[in-house]
């Protein structure tokens, strides 16, 4: 019986090679042995400096916008330093703040796309596979359930922020944005803070970073590391706690669906929804503490949606391990290892 894992031989019926050509080795000899598989796992240490580079790039891009604003707002004969003294009160102007949000999201998109393209070429896979750009097989209802089911996770994260505020008071200066924003700019701001960070941050964190960590570590470890980096990118203790908790939920969804798009929708829903509430408190008469009936009914709906969303995510077929690692590179790696040993 022939070996199904053995490549066909060239030559005559006796299996002798012809024209001086050697027979192809069996597939078992082309692929690295199991004990050497750890050496084939992708390196992940470059992801940490690359994440730092991305944070610096986003800060520099926002710094350019702020510098431009200083030139615009300064009075005749006023120096940049003197104009900078008025920046804390002006930065929460809706036009300026929205521009900074857009710059942050765009920088994340550019970083995720650029780093992802380089990584995809190096790993011999498509950019779609490398960053998880394929749409998952979800019904229209499931997309809505995932968004609404994320409300309990948001409330859990907000509870952590409130607990931290008992020890470290939060910065209340951002409230000036909600107090002074116009209805037109409120709509622009709510859309921008949902779309740009939602897509950009998911592309970079859950697409570029987490998908590489998943090739090296167990899912819980990969999601945890990505969530911590995602949280640290939000700088303040309150932002770190909020983003880390939500990041675990987004990371789990990205892993189970093998796609960044459900997380991007949820991220946008959370960002926009939270800011609808904040703007509404100061501009549209939304009560700070909703009526009891609303809390009860809304809580029941959110918990049912959370359970439903968890079931939807758990039912997703897990992606194949190391799907973006090309087997075609393995023989070369094995050959390199053998040549070093000899």
pLDDT of residue 21: 46
Inside any domain, residue 19: no
Q: Which of 11-20, 89-98, 186-195 has the highest mean pLDDT?
A: 186-195
How would DSSP label each residue in 76-89? Answer: TT--HHHHHTTHHH
pLDDT of residue 40: 59
CA distance 227 to 184: 34
pLDDT of residue 205: 96
pLDDT of residue 22: 47
Inside any domain, residue 137: yes
Q: From residue 192, how far is each of 90, 150, 333 by CA, in Å?
A: 19, 20, 46
Domain that holds residue 270: 43-318
**Average pLDDT in the 80-104 region?**
83
Inside any domain, residue 260: yes
pLDDT of residue 203: 96
How would DSSP label each residue in 86-108? Answer: THHHHTTSHHHHHHHHHHHHHHH
**Average pLDDT in the 30-44 region?**
53
Tokens 């939500």 map to which residue?
246
Mean of per-residue pLDDT scores for the chain: 82
Say whether pLDDT at 25 is over 80: no
Inside any domain, residue 336: no
32 and 341 Cβ atoms separated by less than 8 Å? no
Q: From residue 103, how far is each of 73, 160, 179 by CA, in Å?
A: 20, 28, 23
55-59, 65-69, 226-230, 254-258: segment of lowest average pLDDT = 65-69
Say whether pLDDT at 194 is over 90: yes
**Average pLDDT in the 35-61 region?**
78
CA distance 26 to 268: 50
pLDDT of residue 162: 93
Inside any domain, residue 88: yes
CA distance 122 to 119: 5
pLDDT (tens digit per residue) in 50-82: 899 999 988 888 888 888 877 777 777 777 777
Q: How confident is the model at residue 123 (pLDDT cuts 50, 70, 90)?
A: confident
301 and 107 Cβ atoms separated by less than 8 Å? no
* DSSP 8-state symbol, 329: G
Say whether pLDDT at 20 is over 80: no
**Average pLDDT in the 276-283 region?**
93
CA distance 243 to 204: 14
Inside any domain, residue 61: yes
pLDDT (tens digit per residue) in 328-340: 333 333 333 444 4
Say whether pLDDT at 4 is over 80: no
Task: Give how many domains the chain has, as a whole number.
Answer: 1
Q: Sign (positive/negative) of CA torsion 293, 298, 301, 306?
A: negative
Task: Please choose, from the candidates 262, 245, 32, the residue with its C-alpha nearest in 3D space to the C-alpha of residue 132.
Answer: 262
What is the phi/psi pair of residue 108, to 5°?
A: -65, -40
How would DSSP label each residue in 5-35? Answer: TSPPPPSSTT----TTPPPPPPHHHHSPPGG
Inside any domain, residue 32: no
> Which long-range contacts (C-beta less than 8 Å, at least 24 apart) are formed by 56-59?
57/107, 57/110, 57/111, 58/103, 58/104, 58/107, 58/108, 58/111
Say whether pLDDT at 274 is over 50: yes
Of 242 and 12, the structure prediction assigns the larger pLDDT to: 242
pLDDT of residue 238: 92
Inside any domain, residue 253: yes
Task: Please choose, from the candidates 234, 230, 91, 236, the residue with its C-alpha nearest in 3D space to the C-alpha of residue 169.
Answer: 236
Q: Find the length of the chain.
A: 342
Say whether pLDDT at 11 is over 60: no
Say whether pLDDT at 318 is over 60: yes
271 and 193 Cβ atoms separated by less than 8 Å? yes
Q: From residue 273, how far is each of 164, 280, 287, 289 by CA, in Å?
A: 22, 10, 15, 16
CA distance 191 to 196: 8
* Termini Cα distance of the chain: 34
Of 321 and 276, the structure prediction assigns the larger pLDDT to: 276
């Amino acid at each position: 019986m022939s070996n199904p894992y053995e490549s066909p031989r060239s030559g005559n019926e006796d299996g002798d090679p012809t024209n001086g050509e050697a027979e192809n080795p069996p597939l078992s000899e082309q692929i690295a042995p199991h004990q050497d598989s750890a050496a084939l796992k992708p390196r992940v240490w470059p992801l940490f400096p690359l994440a730092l580079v991305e944070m610096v790039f986003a800060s520099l891009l926002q710094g350019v916008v702020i510098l431009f604003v200083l030139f615009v707002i300064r009075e005749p004969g006023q120096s940049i330093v003197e104009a900078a003294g008025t920046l804390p009160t002006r930065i929460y102007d809706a036009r300026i703040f929205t521009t900074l949000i857009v710059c942050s999201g765009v920088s994340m998109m550019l970083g995720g796309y650029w780093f992802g393209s380089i990584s995809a070429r190096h790993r011999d896979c498509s950019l779609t596979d490398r960053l998880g750009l394929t749409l998952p097989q979800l019904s229209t209802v499931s997309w809505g359930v995932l968004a609404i089911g994320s409300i309990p996770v948001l409330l859990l994260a907000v509870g952590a922020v409130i607990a931290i505020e008992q020890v470290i008071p939060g910065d209340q200066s951002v409230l000036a944005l909600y107090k002074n924003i116009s209805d037109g700019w409120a709509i622009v701001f709510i859309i921008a803070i949902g779309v740009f960070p939602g897509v950009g941050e998911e592309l970079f964190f859950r697409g570029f970073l987490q998908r590489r960590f998943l090739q090296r570590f167990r899912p819980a470890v990969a999601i945890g590391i990505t969530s911590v980096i995602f949280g640290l990118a939000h700088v303040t203790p309150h932002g770190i706690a909020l983003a880390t908790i939500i990041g675990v939920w987004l990371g789990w969804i990205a892993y189970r669906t093998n796609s960044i798009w459900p997380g991007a929708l949820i991220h946008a829903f959370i960002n926009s929804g939270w800011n609808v509430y904040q703007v509404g408190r100061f501009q549209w008469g939304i009560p700070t503490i909703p009526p009891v009936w609303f809390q009860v009914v809304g809580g029941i709906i959110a918990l049912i949606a959370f359970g439903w969303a968890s079931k939807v995510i758990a039912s997703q077929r897990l992606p194949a391990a190391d799907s973006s690692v090309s087997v075609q590179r393995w023989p070369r790696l094995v050959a390199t290892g053998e040549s070093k040993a000899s």
